Amino acid sequence: MSKTLSGVGATPLAGVGTVRWYEPTIPEFDRESDDPEAERQRFVDARDWARAAIDEERERVAERVGEEEAAILEAHRQFLDDPQIESAVDAEIEGGATAEAAVEAAFADPIEQYEATGGRVAERADDLRDVRDRLLRTLAGVEDVDLDALPDETILLAERLVPSDAAGLDPDRVAGLATVVGGRTAHAAIVARAIGLPAVVGVGDPLREIENGTTVVVDGEAGVVIVDPDEETRTAARTEREIDVIDEQVATADGRSIEVAANVGRPGELEGAIDSGADGVGLFRTEFLFIDRTSPPDEDEQFETYSEALQAFPGERIVVRTADVGGDKPIDYLDLPAEANPFLGDRGIRRSLGVDADLLETQLRALLRAAGTAREEGDATGDLAVMFPMVADVAELDAALERVDAVAAALEDAGEPCAIPELGVMVETPAAARMAPELADRVAFLSIGTNDLTQYVMAADRDNDRVTTLHDPLHPPVLRTIADAIDGGHERDAWVGMCGEMAGDPALTELLIGLGLDELSASAVTIPQVKARIQETDTEAAEAVAERALAAETRSAVLDVLDGDD
């Protein structure tokens, strides 16, 4: 008899296959040694090998998945080279410990400290464990599991997956994955969406009861793992993986056009966006151009990158976000300060108008040059739009717009091709949502970033498993904040889009249309399903759903509305 386990759907796809547990093991090791010099050399050799492996994996992840996920491996490299950890290892070895025992002891306190901090910072404890275990396996001469060589139709189960693990999966062989812990914005979930892999995360302890060799269905849209499914369920899961790409722009059943664009982090992701049928780019995360280098990209390099994106989508809009530096994005050469809560600290537009003013000016010069060149080339390229991140104050936007005007004037004086693109604001703070009409008075569009907006409205860290249920945009306060932002933008004739994870969930497409959004931007893998849902949706019916959802007082009541149970 089949059994259904509930979790968090990470990718709106379903797959069926045979379970294989991914359980990297740490071998037993001796704890005492009378040769400190030899143990020290063993540690140095293992660290050098691990460093090279991380660098290789980082390149693979960047190429296959994207810079956002690759940046996490850069953090792993920083832990590997942390002088405090190295000093602790040296002290343990001098005290008679083997290299393995010294590594285990040196990482224990930092892991405990990160876990005690809680919130998003606690996620670093998992990164430290990953680095520690890599060193221990290297010292023991144990090879990692080759995830790229799994048998066809594998369903991979794991406690958790780090980006390098998930990026090694071949979606043509692996039918899906499920994890014990994690939420929709966990590393494994993000990577699964990027490579088009059915995934359910945060299933909890019941997942551990599934044995190797069991047949299961992973339904990332419903957020369930079905153990020992019947033949009808298996057939439906296999059929669902066959997705028709819709290349042209789509409209609702009653003729209302909705743009469906892609979120990208680097030029290498543009091809996947094109293949998915994206109507341009709704979010180009340019901060990932600044990561994993010793100095920022210069104006010409950025100009070429933005021009490449414009040329990839002739006649379509390319929305570029200025660098959202800060938060959890490590950029060594900027010497970002340690902050107790970096997501409430100096990030986004705050840094761009302050300590990173020179970086903003260089980026704006490249963007305005790209916009000017594109306009000269006409239909051969896309149309550039630029938006500013983490705006919380109208004065911040005014200052940013003044910078745009100053850069444009300087380029024109120098005789450079130049045009001021369509300008917009990311609505990811409650302050921006509340001031949407005033912001829309100054720009052409607003784009709602639901990942940050949800965690700020609900005071719930999106990467803290303890508050996963709170980090859901279907909570009434978040839905009403989104609705206010949309209404405020439309009130002042701005178009309003959404580029958070919520936009890529086909189960929510009808609701988002009913709320009045003009554009949805999502991970490339979800675009075909979102477009198909738009074509099936009647605007009047969607508006009725949205009205009932906004009147609901609890998340469960909103879910009832979406399920048609109200």
Q: Which are the catalytic amino acids?
A: 187, 499
DSSP-derived 3-state class of residue 226: strand
Residue written as token pair 């910072």 = 121
- What does the DSSP 8-state code read for residue 52? H
What is the chain's alpha carbon radius of gyration, rounded to the nearest angstrom? 24
- What does the DSSP 8-state code read for residue 142? P
Which of 203, 138, 260 has the alpha carbon at shortest distance from 517? 260
Residue 79: C-alpha distances to residues 98, 124, 129, 205, 353 (Å) = 20, 10, 10, 30, 30
DSSP-derived 3-state class of residue 20: strand
Q: Return d(Cα 474, Cα 30) in angstroms, integer.
A: 52
End-to-end CA distance of the chain: 31
Burial 333-367 (b: 16+ CB within 10 A, else e): ebebeeeeebbeebbbbbbbbeebeebbbbbbbbb
Burial 260-299 (b: 16+ CB within 10 A, else e): bbbbbbbbebbebbbebbbbbbbbbbbbbbbbbeeebbee
Phi-psi region of 378 (alpha: psi -120 to 50; beta: other; left: phi over 0): left
The neighbouring-strand residues paired with 157 are 21, 178
List Cβ neighbours of 114 (8 Å cut-off, separation of 6 or more): 121, 122, 123, 124, 125, 128
* CA 351 remoteness from chain centre: 21
| Strands 422-427 and 383-388, bridge-based pairing | parallel
Question: DSSP states of 248-278 as a string?
Answer: S-EE-TTS-EEEEEEEESSGGGHHHHHHTT-
Tokens of 255: 């003729």
Strand order in the sheet with 215-219: 3-6, 224-227, 215-219, 14-22, 154-158, 174-179, 199-201, 8-11
C-beta separation of 153 from 40 below 8 A: no
Question: Measured over all CA atoms, what is the biggest interatomic distance in the chain, rounded to whole angstroms?
Answer: 79
Residue written as token pair 């990332």 = 220
| Strands 8-11 and 199-201, bridge-based pairing | antiparallel
Which of 191, 172, 210 has the alpha carbon at shortest distance from 10? 191
C-beta separation of 38 from 216 below 8 A: no
Q: Return d(Cα 264, Cα 291) in angstroms, integer.
A: 15
Residue written as token pair 């002042």 = 492
Q: Return d(Cα 368, Cα 310) in angstroms, integer.
A: 13
